[in-house]
Amino acid sequence: MGAGKSGPWTCHPIEHELSAFYDITHGVGLAIVTPRWMRYILSEDTVDKFIEYAKNVWHLPEEADKMAYANKAIDATENFFRSCHLPMTLTELGIDETHFEAMAEKAVRIGDLQNAYVPLNKEDVLNILKMCK
């Protein structure tokens, strides 16, 4: 599907490192990482993709304020995961920052995050992981 290009959902390689270091499922890790990753990459450059997401996935009524509309879609995502009674923070799982540096480095190197829809570097991944605490 990526046709040789890294995909837009770079939350997956970030989560892969959580599952590699800790005994958590991919789904639980994604429930924690995805909303934080979405908020981190949301910008004037990406807001239109989030608007498509709001319309096509959550069927939210349109709003004039693009950023507010995009944030409502992210809120809907987070609320969905909460409704599944999934942990929503790394702290809930007893995970601290001990391995964040190594996880961030590996996510960038193995996940090819620097060539993604929104390129991420090690510092970006560290920031996202810290948002997940």
Query: 62-120: per-residue pLDDT in tens?
Result: 999 999 999 999 999 999 999 999 999 999 999 999 999 999 999 999 888 888 889 99
Domain boundaries, the chain: 11-131
pLDDT at 44: 97
Q: Name every residue whose Cβ is closer than 8 Å to that of residue 120 and which is 6 or more positions away in sequence.
A: 10, 41, 108, 113, 114, 128
The 3-state DSSP class for residue 59 equals: coil
Question: With b meaning 16 or more CB within 10 Å and e meaning fewer, what string describes 56-67?
Answer: eebebeeeeebe
19 CB neighbour count, 10 Å cutoff: 15
Question: Is pLDDT above 90 for 48?
Answer: yes
CATH second-level architecture of 11-131?
Up-down Bundle (1.20)
Q: Which among 88, 128, 71 has a CA at the least distance from the CA of 104?
A: 128
pTM for the structure as a whole:
0.90
3-state DSSP of 69-113: HHHHHHHHHHHHHHHCCCCCCCHHHCCCHHHHHHHHHHHHHHHCH
Question: Is pLDDT above 70 for 1?
Answer: no
The helix or strand, by DSSP H or E, that contains position 20, with its residue range, turns out to be helix 11-21
Q: CA-CA distance, 59 to 53, in Å (whole number)? A: 8
